[in-house]
């Protein structure tokens, strides 16, 4: 059996983002139970030169949404990076998942050889569709979801590996 670009991308992104929403919900519950201002957790970092939790969630959302849209030959819907609460971050994740659910296999399958050009500052990154999916989109989303998990875990939120992986389908 052959796996398609759509099957490799969209269900993987949706699963990771759903798991991120659960992780954020646990962060919100932790903050409320311990009477911690949620802004403290949302602004937390693993190290001073790293981005805070809010930015990790925003970037995971952006890469998932924009990456899938590029492979589908579409413009991704814009999202303002203005979330300051767990509820707003969770809503952003749900909106990203809702967008991913609008994409169809017909829009993404066959994009293996498509030219993808990303402007990163003054530099360009050039990919074919398959390497873009395998070596840019998925690793970046996993990195930022993992970092969000790590920030909350570092701050005492009771999380385990299964929160990252999610329940078996």
Domains of the chain in sequence order:
5-165 (1.20.120.450)
Judged against a pLDDT cut of 90, whether residue 155 lies above it is answered with yes
Tokens for 169, please give them: 């389908």
- pLDDT, tens digit, 9 for 90 and up, residues 90-122: 999 999 999 999 999 999 999 999 999 998 899
Judged against a pLDDT cut of 80, whether residue 169 lies above it is answered with no
Of 127, 130, 133, whose CA–CA distance to 115 is shortest?
Answer: 127
Q: For residue 127, what are the CA distances in angstroms to 14, 83, 104? A: 23, 31, 22
pLDDT given at position 1 = 64
The HSE-up count of residue 17 (CA atoms within 13 Å, CB side) is 29
pTM: 0.96
CA 148 – CA 169 distance, rounded (Å): 23
């Amino acid at each position: 059996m052959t796996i398609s670009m759509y099957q490799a991308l969209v269900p993987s992104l949706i699963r990771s983002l759903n798991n991120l929403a659960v992780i954020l919900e646990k962060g919100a519950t932790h903050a409320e139970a311990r009477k911690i201002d949620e802004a403290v957790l949302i602004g937390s970092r693993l190290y001073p030169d790293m981005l805070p939790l809010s930015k990790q969630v925003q970037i995971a959302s952006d890469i998932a949404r924009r990456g899938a849209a590029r492979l589908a030959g579409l413009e991704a819907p814009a999202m303002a990076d203005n979330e300051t609460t767990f509820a707003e971050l969770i809503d952003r994740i749900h909106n990203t998942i809702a967008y991913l659910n609008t994409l169809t296999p017909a829009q993404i399958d066959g994009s293996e050889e498509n030219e993808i050009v990303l402007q990163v500052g003054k530099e360009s990154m050039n990919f074919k569709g398959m390497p873009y999916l395998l070596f840019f989109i998925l690793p970046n989303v996993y990195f930022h979801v993992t970092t969000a998990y790590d920030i909350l875990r570092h701050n005492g939120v009771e999380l385990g590996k299964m929160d990252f992986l999610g329940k078996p389908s």
